Structure 1
Amino acid sequence: EKELREFGGEVDDRIGRLDVRRKEFEGKLEVIIRELEKKNSERESLRNEIARIESEIDSKTSLIGKMEAEREAAESGLKKISKKEVTDKIEELKEVIGRLRDEERDITSNIKTLTKEMEMVEERAGEIESRINEIDRKEREYSSSIKELDKLYRENKDRMEALMEVERNMLGKMKGLTGERDRLYRESVEIENKIDSLSTKMETSLDLISRARARLPTLEQTLAEMMLETEGIEFDDKEIESVDELKAKIKDMESKMEKLQPVNMLALEEYERQEERRKKFEDDIARLKEQRRNLIRLVNEIEGKKKDSFYEVYNAVKENFERIYTELLGGGEATLVLENQENPFDGGLIIKARPKGKKTMRLNALSGGEKSMASLAFIFAIQAYDPSPFYILDEVDMFLDGKNAERVADMIKDRSRSTQFISISLRRVTLNKADHIYGVTMQEGVSTLVGNVNLEQVEKIVEVK
């Protein structure tokens, strides 16, 4: 019955969880459907925009044709017009043609951008449709599971109600038996307590009897000896206590002995057990002390190995840094210094550099460009010791002059044979060294990634130093 109730509760819990997950999937499905409708609307608007732009291209092409015809007509009439007028007319037509060609290039670029965006929207729509299909499949599976569990729940619920009715009937009968059982249990406990008390008194009395019996021969012998010694001696009856008084004294002594009850006869055993525990604790303490000594020794060994490993890396990076700094700047010197030579983990690392023609200074005293060069030399020194798969450099040549920027670009180019570099830069000298150039544009708050950038075309739009 208990297992049935637990199973019923487990079924309710599983049905509840499945219902929650079904509602969660329905909510996600609604969000995805709304997003799909939005993407479809955006796709339609992009198609309309492309159609409009293509119409503009046709009209502009027609206009260019008309202008070409006008130019040819103007050339045929050159003989009738003065040289100055012809020159002015040609220049005017060239300006118009140039503007039209610029508009055509802009429109073509917009078409490419919108086409790429439409492809992305269509790809996203395909992903959303596949997700919708997957959610529909899971929803069908969960619906089937819910139906099966619901059927099983109803069957078990009927059985559980019948068993609960039987349980209620049995509980009514058990209440009276439980009360009777409790009463009998209390009476048995009282009887056991009385038996224990009587057993204790009986054991005490038997012990006293056995002791008295053991002493009886000795007392009889002592009494006989005293009677022999006291022969012929007269006693005063007043000095001898009566038997009743002696019995009263004995009874008083017995009551005092009873007051000392119960005597703990297990005290010796408890003492021995506690003594064994004390010895065990002493052994544990000795073992823990030995473990502590071993741990301290292990920590010292690890600290020594850690320091040795650190100095191995530090010396290698320091050597690379001194060499790369001189190579990167075409002269000068630089080095790494530990604040705490004895315990390097309690101090920091100091970078000292002497640019060509200057004195030695710390990193924080250098100019912006000198700091950048020293920092790059340190990065390349670490990369020479333990290369990473790729590096991301964000406008590291911003504060460098043209010569130093070219040196940094050459070093990145040289090291890109074994490691990938992703460098964000606006410097022409860096872009010229790049294997691939990617541009990022923003229109109406939307960023777009443009690949295979032509540097000459970019220079016509923005200034690249």
Structure 2
Amino acid sequence: MIGYADELVSHDEPFQDLIYAVLGHYLVVQDLQTANRIYNQVKPLQINVVTLAGEVLGHTGFIRGGTNHRNQSDFVGRQEQLQALVTEIDKLKQGIDLRHTQMAQKELDIQRTKIDIEAQSAEIKKMEEELANLKVELGKMTFEEASLQETHHKQLTERQHLLGEVSQLGQNLELQAMGADDLTSRRQQLGQIANQLSEEIKNQEQHVAGVSARLQEINVLVAKWQSDHESLRREMESIAGQIRETSDLIRMRTEETDRARKEILELHTVNEEYHQRIEELKEKREALQAELTALEEQQYQTNTQVGEQEKAIRSERGKLDELAESVHKIELRVSELKLRLENLKSRMRDEFEYTLQRGPVDETFNAQETGKRIEEMREKIKEVGPVNLLSLKEYEQEKERMEFLQVQRDDLIKARKNLTETIDIINATARQKFMETFEQVQQNFSQVFSKFFEGGRASLALQETADPLEAEIEIFATPGGKKMSAITLLSGGEKSLTAISLLFAIYLHKPSPFCIFDEVDAPLDDRNVQRFTNALKEFSRNTQFLVVTHNKMTMRAADQLYGITMEEKGVSKVVSVKFDSNQNGNAAG
């Protein structure tokens, strides 16, 4: 095995994702035999196997033949890459159009927001002017009230003085008879003046009461306008914050659009280079086609010559067969003589303990002395004694023991084979179940993460190893508006939400009746705590969650609350509170 195709291609860093999308699922091996051997292992991973000769074994079951002609293989590969690049360009264009539409919508929203802000600003300015006028009128009313109170006080004093004079005149009238008519007239005049003053005092008191009521109404109206002014001010601050966030989002979208345009321009440049390369390959193909036609003509002539030579060879082959038959007869004769020679050697070795050797005849050989030596050796054999007859029985016992051990060995080999097959079946089933579960959890993880982080993306990936059961799982998470190269760069709250997203993704694949969280909301801010509690409410339809927390927002979202307190040192006490749906809803509001 050579390696994955995307790792064997030299490219620039901006094209990493594009190269992986085109070549990431192709594994390059030396030959077709190696491809057939590893095909079944990589097929569940949806990986295509490619040989150096150009044969392709697809994970869907198709097989494409190859050729040793390198230019043709390069041409096909370039066409596939070109098609993939065109598809990627179309996708990028669609993404750019979508982003332009989103930007236009955002601009319309901004314009509407600006119009609303201007209208609200005009209304606030109008309200401020009315508030200033009311304050001026309130000052006038206050001054007028003070003046009336002072006049009323003076008139009361004057009335008391006149009443005193009237009383004094009455006494004088009783004591003195003289000047009665003058005093009576004076008394009547003073009485009329007193009545007039009483009427004026009543009128002033009514006017003061009206002014006080009007002043009360003005105070209520001023308080209302002040409350409305404060509410509008907070709303303006909120809208201004939304405008800033929208401006930042537009700026980010604009930067992404610029980058996408640059990538499209680069892809267009690569596309033009591929077109030029295709034209060159077409010219080379035409030249090679002409050479192939010439070679076919030459091959036809060569075949004609070969046919004539084969006729001559068949004639010579007949003669050769006759010679071979003669040689075979001679070889049979030689074999027969060799067999007789071996029998003689065996007999000499068994009876006379002498090994015959081919060589010249020894002229000093004495047959009589040799006969005497043979007799002496036979006597010595007799002196040795009889052969051990128990050796045959021992041999049978050892043979029986050997056969028993052989049967045991065969049983162990068979059992080992069965265990190996069972383990392979279990591993295959486990890999299949693992990959199915992994795909489902990966989809759930991406969906749950996007709910926690608007515009965020997350995925799970297995390390590229032969066995997925032993591969490590990598987590890729990018919150909305950020570009992270590693999960270690996330903040504590983002890491916690990512872990919760993965937990809920596993839960969606295989729900459980109970789930316990121990202060998982500690690193979260209020906004993320609200998202977390919303997710708990959504999943609590089928699962009962036990949450250990110190966060008030999480406590407020609970159905039942258990508190641990220590009224006395060393003595813990459990206090529980159960919320009904109405109270919980009011508390949440």
Shorter-chain TM-score tier: 0.3 to 0.5
Structure 1 length normalisation: TM-score?
Answer: 0.45
Q: Which is bigger in relative contact order (C-alpha 8 A, separation at least 6)? A: 1
Instruction: Return the index of the structure with the highest Cα Rg.
Output: 2
